[in-house]
Amino acid sequence: MGGALRALGLSKTYGKVPVLNSLDFDIPAGCVFGLIGPNGAGKTTTIKIMMNILQPTSGSVEMFGVDSRRLGPGDLTQIGYVSENQEMPGWMTVKYLMNYLKPFYPGWDDARAAELVRHFELPLDRELKNFSRGMWMKAALASALAYRPRLLVLDEPFTGLDPLVREDLVNSLAASAGETTIFVSSHDLGELETFATHVGYLHAGRLSFSEEMASLSGRFRQIEVTLATAPGASAEAGWPGEWVRREASGNVVRFVESKFEQERTSNEIRRVFGEAPQVSIQQMPLRAIFLTLARHSGKAA
Amino acid sequence: MISQALHILRKDARYLRGEIVLVLALVALLAYTAAPAAELLALLAMNYLIARVIHAEAIPGYNQFWITRPYRWQSLFGSKILFVLLFMDLPLLAAQIYAIVAHDFSLSSSLPGLLWSQTLYITCLFLPVICLASLTSGLIPFLVTEFIVVAEIFIAVGVVYGHFSWAQFLPGAKPGPAAVDWVRDFFVMAIVVESAAAVLYSQYRTRNSAKGRKTAVLGVAAAAAIFLLLPWPVMMSVQAAISRESFQTSSLKVDLASVKYGAFPGMGPRRGPAPPERICLPLRLNGVPANREAAVDSLSVTLEARDGRSWSSGVTAPIAVESGETIVDASLPVDPAFLMIERAHPLTARARIYLTLFGDPQSATIPIQAGPPVDAINGLQCWAGLLNQLSCRSLFRWPGKRVYARTREGVESFVRTFSYSPFPATLGFNPVETHSFSSGLASKEVTITTKAPLSHFSFEAVLDGVVLDDYTAAAKMRAMQAAPPY
Helix axis angle for B127-135 and B73-84, nearest 10°, is: 130
Which pLDDT score is estimated for B98?
Answer: 92
Contact B311, B345 (CB under 8 A): no
Which pLDDT score is estimated for B339?
Answer: 82
The full DSSP string for B97-124 is HHHHHHTT--TTTTHHHHHHHHHHIIII
B6 Cβ neighbours under 8 A, 6+ residues apart: B79, B82
Alpha-carbon span B57 to B64, nearest angstrom? 7
Which pLDDT score is estimated for A108?
Answer: 94
Q: Computed over its alpha carbons, how large is the radius of gyration of chain A?
A: 22
Please give chain B's pLDDT, 486 residues, in tens: 789 999 999 999 999 999 999 999 999 999 988 888 999 999 999 999 999 999 999 999 999 999 999 999 999 999 999 999 999 999 999 999 999 998 888 888 889 999 999 999 999 999 999 999 999 999 999 999 999 989 988 888 888 777 777 777 777 776 677 888 899 999 999 999 999 999 999 999 998 899 999 999 999 999 999 988 888 888 888 998 988 888 888 888 888 877 777 666 665 555 666 666 778 888 888 888 888 888 888 888 898 988 888 888 877 777 766 666 777 777 778 888 888 888 888 889 898 888 888 888 888 888 887 778 888 888 888 888 777 778 888 888 888 888 888 876 666 667 767 889 889 888 888 888 888 876 666 677 888 888 889 999 888 889 888 888 888 777 777 777 776 555
Amino acid letter, A248: A
8 Å CB contact of A73 and B11: no
| Phi, psi (rounded to 5 degrees) for B236 | -65, -35
Q: Residue B413's CB: how many other CB atoms inside 10 A?
A: 17
The DSSP secondary-structure symbol of B274 reads: P
The full DSSP string for chain A is --EEEEEEEEEEEETTEEEEEEEEEEEETT-EEEEE--TTSSHHHHHHHHTTSS--SEEEEEETTEEGGG--HHHHTTEEEEETT----TTSBHHHHHHHHGGG-TT--HHHHHHHHHHTT--TTSBGGGS-HHHHHHHHHHHHHTT--SEEEEESTTTT--HHHHHHHHHHHHHHBTTBEEEEE-S-HHHHHHH-SEEEEEETTEEEEEEEHHHHHHH-EEEEEE-SSPPPTTGGGGS-TTEEEEEEETTEEEEEESS--HHHHHHHHHHHH-SS-EEEEEE--HHHHHHHHHHHHHHH-
Q: How many interchain CB pairs under 8 A, A with B?
A: 43
Q: Identify the CA nearest to B31 among candidates B86, B87, B90, B91.
A: B91
Alpha-carbon span B356 to B293, nearest angstrom? 8
The string of pLDDT tens digits covering residues A91-118 is 999 999 999 999 999 999 999 999 999 9
Asked if B62 reaches chain A (Cβ–Cβ under 8 Å), the answer is yes
Total count of residues recorded for chain A: 301
Asked if A87 reaches chain B (Cβ–Cβ under 8 Å), the answer is yes
The 3-class secondary structure across A70-98, one letter per residue, is HCCHHHHCCEEEEECCCCCCCCCEHHHHH
Alpha-carbon span B260 to B321, nearest angstrom? 11
8 Å CB contact of A54 and B65: no
- What is the percent of chain A where pLDDT is above 90? 38
Query: Closest-CA residue in chain A for B10?
Result: A100
B427 Cβ neighbours under 8 A, 6+ residues apart: B117, B120, B121, B124, B125
Query: Closest-CA residue in chain A for B61?
Result: A53
Contact A157, A82 (CB under 8 A): yes
Q: Identify the CA nearest to A216 among candidates A239, A236, A188, A189.
A: A189
- Dmax over CA atoms of chain B, in Å, equals 89
CA dist list (Å): B404 to A175, B396, B432? 85, 20, 19
Alpha-carbon span B23 to B17, nearest angstrom? 10
For A:34-73, CB contacts with B below 8 A are 48, 51, 53-54, 73
Query: Closest-CA residue in chain A for B67?
Result: A53
Nearest to A100 among B11, B64, B70 (CB): B11
Kindly list the residues from chain A whose CB atom is less than 8 angstroms away from the CB atom of residue B67: 51, 53
Alpha-carbon span A152 to A177, nearest angstrom? 9
Cβ burial of A206 (10 Å; 0-12, 13-18, 19+) is middle
The DSSP secondary-structure symbol of B88 reads: I
Minimal CA separation from B1 to chain A, in Å:
11
The string of pLDDT tens digits covering residues B28-84 is 999 988 888 999 999 999 999 999 999 999 999 999 999 999 999 999 999 999 999
Supply angle C-alpha A160, A161, A164, rounded to 5: 160
Its pTM stands at 0.85
Alpha-carbon span A197 to A199, nearest angstrom? 7
Amino acid letter, B102: A
Calculate the CA B208 to chain-centre distance. 36
Bridge partners of A202?
A207
Minimal CA separation from B11 to chain A, in Å:
8
Asked if B210 reaches chain A (Cβ–Cβ under 8 Å), the answer is no
Contact B425, B117 (CB under 8 A): yes
Alpha-carbon span A157 to A170, nearest angstrom? 10
Contact B481, B363 (CB under 8 A): no
Half-sphere exposure of B216 (CA within 13 A, CB side): 25
Query: Closest-CA residue in chain B for A152?
Result: B68
Asked if A89 reaches chain B (Cβ–Cβ under 8 Å), the answer is yes
Please give chain A's pLDDT, 301 residues, in tens: 557 899 999 999 998 899 999 999 999 988 999 998 888 889 999 999 999 999 999 999 999 889 999 999 999 999 999 998 889 999 999 999 999 999 999 999 999 999 999 988 899 999 999 998 888 988 998 999 999 999 999 998 887 777 887 888 888 888 777 788 999 998 878 778 888 899 898 888 888 888 888 888 888 898 988 887 777 766 677 788 888 888 888 888 888 888 888 888 888 888 888 776 788 888 888 888 878 877 776 554 3
The DSSP secondary-structure symbol of B382 reads: E
Kindly list the residues from chain B whose CB atom is less than 8 angstroms away from the CB atom of residue A76: 68-70
Asked if B4 reaches chain A (Cβ–Cβ under 8 Å), the answer is yes
Best mutation target, A71, A86, A141, A147, to test chain B (most B CBs within 10 A): A86
The full DSSP string for B91-102 is HHHHHHHHHHHH
Query: Closest-CA residue in chain B for A103?
Result: B4
Best mutation target, B66, B67, B69, to test chain A (most A CBs within 10 A): B69
Nearest to B71 among A51, A73, A85 (CB): A73
The string of pLDDT tens digits covering residues A166-189 is 888 888 888 777 788 999 998 878
- Which sign does the torsion angle of CA A122, A124, A126, A129 carry? positive
B319 Cβ neighbours under 8 A, 6+ residues apart: B263, B265, B328, B329, B331
CA dist list (Å): A257 to A189, A269, A271, A280, B372? 20, 10, 15, 12, 101
Kindly list the residues from chain A whose CB atom is less than 8 angstroms away from the CB atom of residue B68: 51, 53, 76, 79, 81, 86
Q: Identify the CA nearest to B459 among candidates B157, B214, B253.
A: B253
Best mutation target, B19, B65, B71, B205, to test chain A (most A CBs within 10 A): B65
Contact A258, A220 (CB under 8 A): yes
Alpha-carbon span B219 to B135, nearest angstrom? 14
B402 Cβ neighbours under 8 A, 6+ residues apart: B293, B295, B358, B414, B415, B418, B450, B451, B453
Minimal CA separation from A38 to chain B, in Å:
21
For B:39-58, CB contacts with A below 8 A are 56
Alpha-carbon span B435 to B418, nearest angstrom? 10
